[in-house]
Amino acid sequence: MIPPEVDRTTGRPGMALWRILVLGVVRLNLNWDDDRLQEMANQHRTLRQMLGHGVEDATPYQVQTLKDKVSLLTPEILDRINQLVVNAGHQVVKKKLPKA
């Protein structure tokens, strides 16, 4: 799902892949517009912690960066990620179940 020209360790220019995922999930699930997403990404302490910012890190998010990067994470891609996570979770549960 990650284009070959994108570095898997650093993400896309302007935003790490993890931050794109977190912001994309939040935006789609809460049905926020770009302005609301920017406001929350810049001001909400818990969301900023999920994005990997420390308490003193005031790095701002710009609306255009959010539009350019988060829009790449489509509902179809999120569905594929969801299936991978569910399948991985099933593998973990199978390993922990006692054999009958």
Q: What number is the average pLDDT over the span 5-29?
A: 80
pLDDT-based confidence at 88, cuts 50/70/90? very high
User: Would you state the pLDDT for residue 55?
Assistant: 87
Task: State pLDDT tens for residues 4-16.
Answer: 666 666 656 678 8
pLDDT-based confidence at 53, cuts 50/70/90? very high
* Closest CA relative to residue 73, chosen from 10, 16, 7: 16
Q: 33 and 90 in contact (C-beta within 8 Å)?
A: no
User: Would you state the pLDDT for residue 76?
Assistant: 87
pTM reported for the whole predicted model: 0.76
